[in-house]
Amino acid sequence: MINLLLFPVLIPFLFATILLFFPKKVKAQRVITTLGLLTALVSAFALLWKVKTDGVQSLTLGSWAPPFGITMVSDMMSTLLVTSSLLIALFVVWFSFTSIGIKRETSFYYPAILFMLTGVNGAFTTGDIFNMFVFFEVLLMSSYVLIVLGGEKVQLRESIKYILVNVVSSSLFVITVGYLYSIVGTLNMADISIKLAAIGQAGIVTVIAVLFLIVFGIKGAIFPLFFWLPGSYAAPPIPVLTLFGALLTKVGVYAIIRTYTLFFTTDIGFTHELLMIISILTIIAGCIGALAYFDVKKIVIYNIIIAVGVILFGASVMNESGMMGSIFYLIHDILIKGALFLLIGVIIHITGTSDLRKMGGLIKRYPVLGWSYLIAAFGLAGIPPLSGFIGKLLIVQGGLEGELLWQSIFILASSLIVLLSAIRIFIYAFWGEEKGVQQVQPRTYRHLLAPTITLVVITVLYGVGSEYLVPFMTDATTVLLDPSVYTDAVFGGGK
């Protein structure tokens, strides 16, 4: 099965196509979507196993020789990301059954989610820089559909800005690929890595590195390019927000990590220093936002920005602990953001508002929700033994090994602010006088809570069982720190 690494990309695409035939049959849409995601998830786990036992998988489409055809590469990092994004999508779809509403379900909601997953998984898997642009566009086009679906006024207004920002950043992406092509004359990422290493330190390569940082920084929401994110993400309904918040920025972060470990390794003194400074600034901006708002959606959205900063800081130090911490934290953040958004989705469903000042005292009637929120909040802040702990510990350790004392202390301090911002939601929404509580049918409540609690349990397991994940993370780190593993896998015929 040499095509196995394509299955997590193809299966969502195939099922999305099938769903297009009968948009009005809600039952069939739900069943087929779940079936498709489960199949894709099984194939992703099979791929994970294969990458673990046989090393990096690579396949060049159309049987062309590697630098000429489009290459798809699955190393441990991309496989882990593919698996966790399919997992999140499964929970979001489960949550959507009760919360998204029949009107959206009959207007291509599920196909759009599956097409977006095709784009996300494709961007994680591809080994060709222009093909990455194409997959970015696939996921962006579906995200345009998802953000505007339903056609509320606020959605229309915000989606125009979202589309405009992304169109400009896509143009920049193509321009950057054009510059890169004019230097190395190839698009295959493994080939680019070899050619750039042969060129060595050159001004134009640094320019391209910074341009890539801008392009992926717009998608990944780094400072100062995150300006579009809070407004646009707050517009769509909760399941869509969960999907965006958990996955879309991570694609940008993945692309930054991939290009900065594979391509731009010759002028680390400048490019990675810049990445480090920007990641610190990103954390500051995120912290300010997370404390400034009384809107639950906004608070968690600004926490995405903080997480992006933390992950990039770990990647920028370029040593083993930092990189491993980044990957740990990246997967953790996908899962925990998914869980948190679903939790606040339930809160918003109960209170009917996203304003903290209009809610309170939920713990009396909804204790399970309250306590699982508290666990998720602790996990977000990285309190041991929950999921954020090991990642942050390794990142800080990497920072100290890289002789970045103050920056590492700063990362630790930012955890406190993350904790404060998350606990603020807990204090306002669950403690105090009971207000803003609407009558929610117990059945609906249970249906909303089931996927949410399951996801929280998974994040806890991720934290507690991180011991068993270390071999996987070590594999991922090895590939990132040593590009030759990647290039050898591509040019070695991918057997």
Partner 1 sequence: MKTNDLIIQTTTKLVFFIIFLFSIHIFFAGHYTPGGGFVGGLLMSSAIVLLLLAFDLKTVKEMLPVNYTVVTAIGLLISIATAAGSIFFNVPFFTHVYDYFNIPLLGKTSIHTAMFFDTGVYLVVVGVTMTIIQMIGGDE
Partner 2 sequence: MEILMSILIGFLFMAAVYLILSRSLLRIIIGTGLLSHGTHLLLLTMGGLGGKAAPVLTEGVTVKDYVDPLPQALILTAIVISFGVTAFSLVLAYRTYKELGTDNMDLMKGTEDND
List the single partner that 361 binds among partner 1, partner 2, none, CB under 5 to 8 Å by kind: none
Tell me how far CA of residue 168 lies from CA of 165, 175, 179, 215, 354, in angstroms. Answer: 5, 11, 17, 9, 31
Query: Of 27, 62, 102, 467, which lies in the binding site for partner 1, with binding defined by CB under 8 A?
Result: 62
State yes or no: residue 410 binds partner 2 (CB under 8 A). Answer: no
State yes or no: residue 148 binds partner 2 (CB under 8 A). Answer: yes
CA–CA dist 445, 365 (Å, integer): 11
State yes or no: residue 61 binds partner 1 (CB under 8 A). Answer: yes
State yes or no: residue 18 binds partner 1 (CB under 8 A). Answer: yes
Query: Of 194, 214, 234, 420, which lies in the binding site for partner 2, with binding defined by CB under 8 A?
Result: 234
Smallest gap from residue 150 Cβ to partner 2 (A) = 11
State yes or no: residue 204 binds partner 2 (CB under 8 A). Answer: no
Nearest to 481 by CA among 398, 366, 381, 404: 398
357 secondary structure, DSSP code: G
Q: In this complex, which beta carbon is closest to partner 2, that of residue 55 or of residue 230?
A: 230
Residue 255 in contact with residue 184, Cβ under 8 Å?
no
Q: Which of residues 12-41 bind partner 2 (CB under 8 A)?
A: none
Write the Ramachandran bin of 292: left for phi over 0, alpha for psi from -120 to 50, otherwise beta.
alpha
List Cβ neighbours of 367 (8 Å cut-off, separation of 6 or more). Answer: none
Binding mask 167-186 for partner 2 (x = CB under 8 A): xx-xx--xx-xxx-xx----
Torsion sign, CA atoms 85, 86, 90, 93 = positive
State yes or no: residue 14 binds partner 1 (CB under 8 A). Answer: yes
List Cβ neighbours of 228 (8 Å cut-off, separation of 6 or more). Answer: 161, 162, 165, 218
Smallest gap from residue 69 Cβ to partner 1 (A) = 8
List Cβ neighbours of 471 (8 Å cut-off, separation of 6 or more). Answer: 52
State yes or no: residue 292 binds partner 2 (CB under 8 A). Answer: no
Q: In this complex, which beta carbon is closest to partner 1, that of residue 21 or of residue 406?
A: 21
Q: Where are the beta strands (DSSP E) in 183-322?
A: none
Tell me how far CA of residue 422 lies from CA of 248, 282, 349, 464, in angstroms. Answer: 22, 18, 18, 21
Report helix angle 189-199 to 153-184, nearest 10.
50
| β-bridge mates for residue 85, sequence order | none
Binding mask 66-105 for partner 1 (x = CB under 8 A): ---x------------------------------------
List the single partner that 148 binds among partner 1, partner 2, none, CB under 5 to 8 Å by kind: partner 2
State yes or no: residue 371 binds partner 2 (CB under 8 A). Answer: no
State yes or no: residue 207 binds partner 2 (CB under 8 A). Answer: no
State yes or no: residue 10 binds partner 1 (CB under 8 A). Answer: yes
Cα torsion 426, 430, 436, 438 to 10°: value is: 120
**Total residues at the site for partner 2 (CB under 8 A)?**
32
CA–CA dist 479, 342 (Å, integer): 33
List the single partner that 42 binds among partner 2, partner 1, none, CB under 5 to 8 Å by kind: none
List the single partner that 35 binds among partner 1, partner 2, none, CB under 5 to 8 Å by kind: none
What DSSP assignment string belongs to 40-104?
HHHHHHHHHHHHHHH--EEEEGGG--TTTS-EEEE-HHHHHHHHHHHHHHHHHHHHHHHHT-HHH
State yes or no: residue 13 binds partner 1 (CB under 8 A). Answer: yes
Region of 137-145, 200-208, 360-368, 413-421 interacting with partner 2 (CB under 8 A)? 137-145
State yes or no: residue 69 binds partner 2 (CB under 8 A). Answer: no
Query: Which chain residues interact with partner 2 by CB under 8 A?
Result: 130, 133-134, 137, 141, 144, 148, 151, 153-154, 156-161, 163-164, 167-168, 170-171, 174-175, 177-179, 181-182, 187, 231, 234
